[in-house]
Structure 1
């Protein structure tokens, strides 16, 4: 059974939901804090005086989020690693080397899980450092804009607050920048990071198991709707440990003669590079559709390339874009201060949902994923 990032996708989604819960809770807290006493002539003064209380509440949410997420992440990594290992067992179970693997301990590799957990902790640490500052900054900005607009007589305080809140909710809690310089909102950044590290755990569980029984070559699947980062690796053989770049290795044939003293059969295998190299160049990025399987010299056949007529990688990215718009307007609806603002936001949700239905209907290989269009409500 080949291993792929999709094998851990449900685990990443479960962890990401914690961040969505926290973001929804923070958005609603800001909205309620702004709405309280909004008709009072001393509203701005009272709001600025209450910043300390808001900061404490936000820090409490951030600390709870970090504690819950750290525990969930470690659980997810253990499960993902074991899934990868069991994939190797299923893949080779009918062979002698597979039966040897089945007989071995299947406990997760603790150092590997610890290393991946530490890596994720480093990647997500800026989230917790940024949350409090981001929320307090936007609260102060909303108060300032609302007060200025009212003084000029252009809009009511409620209208000004709602307008600024809508902008905040549409963006989410932002300011998280990845190594490529891209800016993310909190929930999306967390999901990307968790999807990446759980996928790595599944793949490491698989490759660690293969390495234990001396299988040193793997092959990348042919996946529909591949992205440019992965296209160069499709159907290629990679070394688990080896030199970078294309080269040829002489490997023992996976099926040897049964006769005593018969010469060892070997086969020349073209290798595109190492697995480490391929991953460094983008293979198995978040949302990657490719899988990895053991390559048995002389037995495994390279997969034929299958084109996906009528659907492209760009079409899948458009679907992701529409999902972001749906979530954006659902967040705006969640911070609405009155029914009119809520109705307008929900109308935009319905518009983007209709666009999603049309887009999926126009491309037969796309499937709608309702979970990716949801935001969870604060409890």
Structure 2
């Protein structure tokens, strides 16, 4: 794993960094999921075709065909297991959790150093040290644990495919079994459309491994960026931060945007030296950073960020008001993205050209709905969130 060294004079903005790293991690697991789904679909539909042919054979031919079918089933399971083993090995070799947290913590520390520049809290100029490593160690371990769960889901998927689409499909031994064939193919397609699920949350949303890895990556990199920055501030003697958030923040997060918080447990009026001038100023500390987290701020996928509060110099985000309509629009956009992804998945694992063309029309219709929505609301469209690796569903 290469060591990442940021530019302390031009650190990457937190929102851009978290977005990029989350998308990168999701891309890795997207590729893994796509490879597994394509391999599974190819073998499952081949098994179904062989089973369909059993209905018109004589007893002797039927016996031989059943033997060939068992060989195909065993080979399919073996090949899917080999594919899964190689995919997981490729992922583990990248040491993704360690790399992502290192990048995020390095940039978070650099961003804090940049904000402190020119103030009484400025650190010694030069290369940003890796002194925040211990501050984000638990974050890296947590992310590694989450990714390992996803790797285990990939390794288990061949068994699930075998049970759902290969071993449990009943051979057709009678003439006129066309309806059963159609139903069976639909059942297989429905199973493949779900993707490789890795987690079901309390809202009963089923996350694919790509979607879950993106959420886990965004959450971990955001936390590492913040914790490394806080660590650098504390090293410089500054224990005050303020929270910045987006216009469509949820109710839990909106309550903390613009607040001045401490990282050392101190609250209430505090007299501190001015950040750049002689004299002192009184700062009203409204709580601690841990208070905010305990109240639900900085939840998974939260886009808010923590920045240094410089006494007498910083101006916190003013008069932020929770906007339920903006939150509803964000939720609606997520819903439209799910509809696009669901249609794309149906297209990707379609059992025949008719189903594939039907799914393609659904993709185009869903994309049209998204264009109309973003035009009406003025919200930015994020096309990468419409790709298959973000697929989740209830």
What is the TM-score when the length of structure 1 is the normalising length? 0.84
Are 1:31 and 2:22 counterparts?
no
Relative contact order higher in (CA < 8 Å, ≥ 6 apart): 1
**Structure 2 unaligned blocks of 5 or more:** 1-10, 55-64, 390-394
Deviation at 1:122, TM superposition (A): 1.8
Question: In structure 2, the residue corresponding to 1:226 is in which secondary structure?
Answer: coil
Provide the residue aligned with 1:320 in structure 2: 334
Are 1:362 and 2:372 counterparts?
no
Provide the residue aligned with 1:248 in structure 2: 268
Provide the residue aligned with 1:261 in structure 2: none
Q: 2:99 aligns with which of 75, 83, 99?
A: 75
Provide the residue aligned with 1:84 in structure 2: 108
> Residues of 2 paired with 1:27 and 1:48: CA distance?
17
CA-to-partner distance for each residue in 1:143-194, whole Å, 9 max, x for gaps? 467537886825263x345412331233221252458875422111111111
Provide the residue aligned with 2:3 in structure 1: none
How has the CA–CA distance of structure 1 residues 256 and 143 changed in structure 2, closer, same or farther, with 3 Å as cutoff?
A: closer
Deviation at 1:119, TM superposition (A): 1.1
Does the 8 A contact of 2:29 with 2:209 survive in 1? Answer: yes
> Residues of 2 paired with 1:179 and 1:81: CA distance?
30
How has the CA–CA distance of structure 1 residues 154 and 65 changed in structure 2, closer, same or farther, with 3 Å as cutoff?
A: same
Provide the residue aligned with 1:223 in structure 2: 246
Provide the residue aligned with 1:10 in structure 2: 20
Provide the residue aligned with 2:191 in structure 1: 168
Are 1:125 and 2:174 counterparts?
no
Question: In structure 2, the residue corresponding to 1:76 is in which secondary structure?
Answer: helix
Structure 1 residues 182-197: aligned runs within 5 Å: 183-197=206-220
CA-to-partner distance for each residue in 1:62-103, whole Å, 9 max, x for gaps? 4225414x52332222221121112112222232422x2534
Deviation at 1:229, TM superposition (A): 2.0
Provide the residue aligned with 2:133 in structure 1: 110
Question: In structure 2, the residue corresponding to 1:301 is in which secondary structure?
Answer: coil
> Residues of 1 paired with 2:78 and 2:207: CA distance?
27
Are 1:21 and 2:31 counterparts?
yes
> Residues of 2 paired with 1:227 and 1:150: CA distance?
57
- Is the deviation greater in 43-52 or in 18-27? 43-52
Count of aligned positions: 363
Q: 1:201 aligns with which of 224, 232, 239?
A: 224
> Residues of 2 paired with 1:352 and 1:330: CA distance?
10
Deviation at 1:294, TM superposition (A): 1.2
Question: In structure 2, the residue corresponding to 1:361 is in which secondary structure?
Answer: helix
Does the 8 A contact of 2:241 with 2:307 survive in 1? Answer: yes
Q: 1:333 aligns with which of 339, 343, 347?
A: 347
How has the CA–CA distance of structure 1 residues 143 and 249 changed in structure 2, closer, same or farther, with 3 Å as cutoff?
A: same
How has the CA–CA distance of structure 1 residues 120 and 309 changed in structure 2, closer, same or farther, with 3 Å as cutoff?
A: closer
**Structure 1 unaligned blocks of 5 or more:** 259-263
Are 1:53 and 2:84 counterparts?
no
Provide the residue aligned with 2:5 in structure 1: none
